[in-house]
Amino acid sequence: MIRKLLGRLVPALLAAVTLLCAAVPAAAAGEKPALSLTEEEQAYLERSGPLKVGFVQDRIPVSFSDGSGQLAGISRYIFDRLADLSGLQFEYVPLPAGDVTYDYLLGEGFDLVTSVEYNQENKKARGILISEPYLTSRKVVVARNDLEFSYSANLKVAISTGSQTIRKVLGSAYPNFELADYSSITDCFDAVRSGQADMMIQNQYVAEYWFSKPAYEELKVIPVLGMDDQLCFSAVVPFDPETGLPQAGDGQILIDILDKAIAQLTEDEVGTYTIQAIMENQYSLTLGDFLYRYRYPAIALGASALVILILALLLLRQRVLSAEERANAKVKGEFLSTMSHEIRTPLNGLVGLNYLMSQRLDDPDRLAGYLRQSTTTAKYLLGLVNDILDMSRIQDDRIDISHAPMDLKLLTDTVVSVVRGSMAEKGLTFDTDISLPWPCVEGDELRVQQVLLNLLDNARKFTPAGGKVTLHVAQTEMPSGAILTRAEVSDTGRGMSEEFQKKVFHSFARELDTVSKGNQGTGLGLPISLNLARLMGGDLSFTSRKGEGSDFVFTFPAQRAVMPADSGDAGQPAGKDGRQVLVAEDNELNGEILMDLLTDEGYRAVWAKNGREALDAFSSSPMGTYKVILMDLLMPEMDGFQAAAAIRALDRPDAGTVRIVACTANSSDEDREKAASCGMDGFLAKPIDIDILIQTLSAL
């Protein structure tokens, strides 16, 4: 209501304000006011200097601090006029926020405090000397639009710190009101707006200023009857500790002079100052206010922009996915094409060799040659399948590197003995230089051996007859205390071109001129070796020069270890003492092959065609009949896992000592872990390498 009234009055008053603002100060400027002062008051004026006046900073447009810390607003216009009328000099100093104690004012040397609310209680207060009001306005109630205001209602009132007069008045007149203190006027507005408080009471000019803030436009104003806001000066003077009254002296003289000057102010002057201050100090919208006022269009615009952004991202993602899918499809196509070639070529050789063997049954020498070729081709196929499985596990992050004690001296001796024959067969010189001051370390013996065999086999393949391959192994102690093992494989072979060196670790990468010369390989050995080296915390690097040879360096760190002591019966043959081996195998061909192999090696074997038969055969046999069980994993009626667990659970001493070795085409790490958890002692992957099978049986 007040806002609408001011909105109608302001345009009409603009002209009058302009004239009054120019005329009133001009009339007063340079003239000594003709106040009727006593000799005592005149003497005070002559000896007094600038008076330190404390003012409240947050009562816009009544009393507030401008950008330079000076007093501004309605009060400043009035005080400047009072200085002209009285001859007093004012120095304006802002008061700190919150309650200001009387002791603070005395200690800081203030002479006057402004914007003190005029009432008889203040007039009688200890240490308080107040002037007559210099500005009178209305107090209004600010409340939410949905509030039904009533003086008898139990309402929560927000009070800004420092408005203690309002607190006293409300506390005595309306005891049903709950009063809540807030640190500033804006905090009071926010409390009412959010529902923390029902209403607040404030000077009408201050309320009108803050109603220009969009967030507070939803609040309403309710006039308060009989509660005018009369602002006056308070003199800061010491008080008599015996009487509790202000000490007589300059403070009272100052108040008397101010009262005489205030009496000279006309209503027109005060009205002019009020309108001028209001017009000059309009609320300025901030970015937050702008966004709040236009929040609904902004939300709609933001939602639209968000939808557009999401659609754009989805479209971009679809394009990226399409590109990735095309790339993946290309990679898969190249992989399948390469795999088809790699598998079909040796399979074609096997089919041809089988046909030739069937046609040469009466020629033992030719048959022996065909069998050697067939064995070599079959081993190549087995290596290809193993390499593909390794790459698949690496890419799916399904390879776990073990950290068990291993003897590097024994490992390297084994590797050397395995490759020495093939090196000599090709006419290569094979030299070794192995220095292992810390041979016992923790690591994955199988994977270390796999990398070394890969590197040595590559060196053999790509070094022509008459060349040389060297294995150099050395160890150094790292600052952390770990042992760094460095294995270097050098050859004097064909080397690699600079172009091929860029993709040597790519899957199925092979240099064309070497392939054409019959150096058959899958192109997976080096990528697998690099990944295994990095999984072990090491690396695989190389140098190579076309026509001069290559040099591969495999490094891996490991902690020192102590090899476990050998058991008393380790190394004794399992079946050649006349006892039997139990073979659990559901495939007829595999079963027959195993039975013949074991018989040829001097073992007595019994064949069970599923897990149930294996369990029955063992449980019904005399104590100690079987020392080893070769257990297939996937069988009907009862699989190998169940059969092994059931055998271990039998109530007979040899159920815990019989050695159970898994023989399966399922060679994943999960299968190995599950086999071990069911009580199996070893693991052989199909197709079974006969030499490894015999070594395994001999070691059990």
Do residues 173 and 266 both lie within one domain? no
Do residues 223 and 331 both lie within one domain? no
Do residues 352 and 423 both lie within one domain? no
Structural domain count of the chain:
5
Peptide bond connecting 61 to the previous residue in cis, omega within 30 degrees of 0 = yes
This prediction's pTM:
0.42
Within 10 angstroms of residue 254's Cβ, the number of other Cβ atoms is: 25
Do residues 419 and 383 both lie within one domain? no
Strand partners, 129: 235
Give the per-residue pLDDT at 345: 59
Confidence bin at 327 (pLDDT 50/70/90) = low
pLDDT tens digits, 369-414: 777 777 766 766 666 666 666 666 666 566 778 888 989 998 898 8
Statement: residue 234 has pLDDT above 90: no
Residue 525 falls within a domain, yes or no? yes
Residue 563 falls within a domain, yes or no? no
Residue linked to tokens 């046609």: 359
Peptide bond connecting 687 to the previous residue in cis, omega within 30 degrees of 0 = yes
Residue 567 falls within a domain, yes or no? no
* CA trace torsion 449, 455, 456, 461 (10° rounding): 140
CATH code assigned at 58 = 3.40.190.10
Do residues 308 and 271 both lie within one domain? no
Q: Are 158 and 147 in contact (CB under 8 A)?
A: no
Residue 572 falls within a domain, yes or no? no
Bigger pLDDT: 230 vs 272: 272
**Which amino acid, residue 579?**
R
Packed helices 267-280 and 2-28: angle between N→C axes, nearest 10 degrees: 110
- What is the rounded CA–CA span in Å between residue 121 and residue 126? 10
649 DSSP 8-state letter: T
* Strand ranges across the sheet with 483-491: 429-434, 468-477, 483-491, 549-558, 539-545
pLDDT tens digits, 24-69: 444 444 444 568 888 898 988 888 889 999 888 888 888 888 878 8
pLDDT tens digits, 546-599: 889 999 999 999 999 887 654 444 444 444 555 589 999 988 878 888 888 888
Do residues 409 and 499 both lie within one domain? yes
